Amino acid sequence: MKLLKNCLLLPLAGALLITSLQANADQPNRPECIAPSKPGGGFDLTCKLAQAGLKDNKILKTPMRVTYMPGGIGAVAYNAIVANRRNDPGTLVAFSGASLLNLALGKYGRFDENEVQWLTTIGTDYGTLAVRDDSPYKNLDDVVKALKKDPKSIVVGGGGSIGGQGWMKIALLAKAAGINPSELRYAAFEGGSEHYMALMGKHVDLVTGSASEIASQKGNNIRTLAVFSEERLPGDLAEIPTAREQGYEIQWPLIRGYFLGPDVPQEQVQWWRESFAKLESSPEFERYMVDRDVLPMYVNGPELQALVKKQVAEYRELGREFGLVE
């Protein structure tokens, strides 16, 4: 799928432009990463990657706190930073491709993608579809056959409302199969692990999620039907077939990263950039990410600003295609 495939074509080697840190830029007081969701799920993971990496590499003198600010798949946190915490140098906020999609669809209210300072990406994740172990659906064809027979026969759970990235993943499968996505039964959850709990409780039949969430669900007897990547992922997920292998040309990469308030001084922004540059050069941190099914991807500075604008524009076009924006 050309739309999202393009976001990964930026050159990664040398993507971090490191300049000399100004002498008066000290570590921010009370460093904090806001996960704009309930505990569990991709935003929480993104914050905990930074928390662990900055601690283990002895970059922060004091531990980073992870706090939770659920609401609107990032909307509450985004508005809080832009409106009330504009110049707080110690506060990072986790974002993902889902954040950019919601910005593109106007779900963050009056604020757009130009309101914050996009700090850095840290990795890329991929969308997945999963069922319970006892589900009759063994592959994507089984799901498609059931949806063609009766689009409302499968209750799909995912993070975010209709039009969000959880819905988009099943909508793209429906579209590829010639099914009108508006006929799907979709149950919206705030995020975290709520949709997986609904799956285990038999409140939904299938969930859309991401590769990085699968490891934390190993004890819940779920089975992943497909990963929306160009090719199979490494490690424990190597046994999961891609949608492409099953005849459906769908990719859904999810960049993961952090932003800062719009008025954070540039010397503090640079302090954070150099700190993440140290993580990039750490083989131990790279292994830590890969073990959590996040593939390292570092983009910052002008390249990240360009990536954000490009992806928001492409998501907006996708929204028009599905009749979600004018």
**Residue 23 pLDDT exceeds 60:** no
18 shares its domain with 93 = yes
How much is the average pLDDT of 190-194? 76
Q: How many domains does the chain have?
A: 2
Cβ atoms of residues 88 and 268 within 8 Å: no
**Residue 3 pLDDT exceeds 60:** no
281 shares its domain with 173 = no
How much is the average pLDDT of 279-287? 93
Boundary-marking domain end, from 181, 203, 237:
237
**Residue 24 pLDDT exceeds 70:** no
Banded pLDDT at 231 (limits 50, 70, 90): very high
How much is the average pLDDT of 192-211? 92
CATH number of the domain to which 77 belongs: 3.40.190.150
pLDDT for the residue 174: 95
More confident residue, 198 or 3: 198
How much is the average pLDDT of 127-153? 96
How much is the average pLDDT of 238-262? 96
Banded pLDDT at 25 (limits 50, 70, 90): low
How much is the average pLDDT of 72-84? 94
3-state secondary structure (DSSP) of residue 244: coil
100 shares its domain with 191 = no
Residue 9 domain-assigned (yes or no): yes
> Residue 131 is part of which domain span?
126-237
Boundary-marking domain end, from 194, 209, 237:
237
Lowest-pLDDT range, 12-26, 74-88, 96-110, 306-320? 12-26
Q: How many CB atoms lie under 10 A from the CB of residue 30? A: 10
pLDDT digits (tens, 9 = 90+) for 141-187: 999 999 999 999 999 999 888 999 899 999 999 999 999 999 999 99
Q: What is the DSSP string of 93-114?
A: EEEEHHHHHHHHTTTTTT--TT
CATH number of the domain to which 136 belongs: 3.40.190.10
**Residue 1 pLDDT exceeds 70:** no
pLDDT more than 90, % of the chain: 77
120 shares its domain with 266 = yes
116 shares its domain with 185 = no
62 shares its domain with 135 = no
**Residue 9 pLDDT exceeds 50:** no
pLDDT for the residue 17: 41
Would you tell me the crossing angle of helices 97-104 and 165-176 to the nearest 10 degrees?
80
169: its two tokens: 């993943």
37 shares its domain with 119 = yes
pLDDT for the residue 171: 96
Cβ atoms of residues 36 and 74 within 8 Å: yes
Would you tell me the crossing angle of helices 42-56 and 283-291 to the nearest 10 degrees?
160
92 shares its domain with 76 = yes
**Residue 109 pLDDT exceeds 70:** yes
Lowest-pLDDT range, 55-69, 139-153, 216-230, 270-284? 216-230
CA distance 83 to 73: 17
Mean pLDDT of the chain: 89
pLDDT more than 70, % of the chain: 92
Banded pLDDT at 15 (limits 50, 70, 90): very low
Boundary-marking domain end, from 206, 237, 268:
237
Lowest-pLDDT range, 190-199, 248-257, 297-306? 190-199
Beta strands in the chain (DSSP E): 32-35, 65-68, 91-96, 117-132, 155-159, 185-189, 206-210, 222-227, 253-260, 295-296
43: its two tokens: 């935003």
**Residue 12 pLDDT exceeds 80:** no
143 shares its domain with 118 = no
